[in-house]
Amino acid sequence: MVDFKSIKFEIQERLKDLAIRKWINRNRRAVIIVTNLSVIVFIIIIISLLRPNETVQVNNPKKEWYYDLNTGELFTNKAGRMPPIAAPSGPLLNGEPAGVRAYVFSYVSEPNDSQRFIGFLETKDPNYIDDARGHPKYGEGMLIKRVKDKQWFTSVSWQGRAILQRAIMPNENGDEPYYCPPK
């Protein structure tokens, strides 16, 4: 059976013989200085962790991607325009503008044309009635779809949420897509 009292006594005796203990006894001022410096460093770390994060300056792009529903091609136009807008190919057969907003992504940070893909398209819901509440919530009054889809969906519908989730899904390597603003 292990005698813990004798082990404890032996450890205490060995600690008494350590050189560091003798040094601490001879240099009490140095120990106080090191302790104070440690406390100051600890306080600085705590303050830096509790300090609010600095705001990141976001540069709003001057242009956005749009998609020509007639040709299936991307084009750029001024940012902030409410789709549908006039497209380079002209209006749709029903006379409406053929340009809708396109959200373009890539799995690489500096993509070339072949590395970009259209996550989804967005246009205004013609049936949406603005009730003058100010700015609508994201997705209100807007319809989205994938390029290959025939039907448009609200982004808050289960179909719309599925489109948004697919657009930002990681690829087979686990890489998440980046939004690619036009240059």
Distance CA 139, CA 156 (A): 7
Q: Do 115 and 107 meet the contact criterion of CB atoms below 8 Å apart?
A: yes
Instruction: Kindly tell me if the per-residue pLDDT of 111 is higher than 80.
Output: yes
pLDDT (0 to 100) of residue 73: 94
Instruction: Kindly tell me if the per-residue pLDDT of 137 is higher than 70.
Output: no
User: Is there a single domain that holds both residue 24 and residue 86?
Assistant: no
User: Is there a single domain that holds both residue 98 and residue 44?
Assistant: no
Residues 62-85, mean pLDDT to the nearest whole number: 92
pLDDT (0 to 100) of residue 92: 92
Mean pLDDT lowest among 17-31, 46-60, 73-87, 125-139 = 125-139
Distance CA 164, CA 144 (A): 9
Residues 88-92, mean pLDDT to the nearest whole number: 93
Give a yes or no: residue 9 inside a domain: yes
Instruction: Kindly tell me if the per-residue pLDDT of 138 is higher than 70.
Output: no
Per-residue pLDDT band at 95 (split at 50, 70, 90)? very high
DSSP state of 85: B
pLDDT (0 to 100) of residue 148: 94
Distance CA 84, CA 96 (A): 8
User: Is there a single domain that holds both residue 37 and residue 118?
Assistant: no
Distance CA 138, CA 10 (A): 71
User: Is there a single domain that holds both residue 101 and residue 39?
Assistant: no
User: Is there a single domain that holds both residue 11 and residue 101?
Assistant: no
pLDDT (0 to 100) of residue 101: 95
pLDDT (0 to 100) of residue 70: 95
User: Is there a single domain that holds both residue 70 and residue 38?
Assistant: no
Per-residue pLDDT band at 169 (split at 50, 70, 90)? very high
User: Is there a single domain that holds both residue 18 and residue 43?
Assistant: yes
Per-residue pLDDT band at 88 (split at 50, 70, 90)? very high
Residues 43-65, mean pLDDT to the nearest whole number: 82
SS3 137: coil
Give a yes or no: residue 127 inside a domain: yes
For 110, counting Cβ atoms within 10 Å of its Cβ (0-12 exposed, 13-18 middle, 19+ buried), the class is exposed
User: Is there a single domain that holds both residue 80 and residue 110?
Assistant: yes
SS3 65: strand
Residues 80-88, mean pLDDT to the nearest whole number: 91
Q: Do 163 and 44 meet the contact criterion of CB atoms below 8 Å apart?
A: no
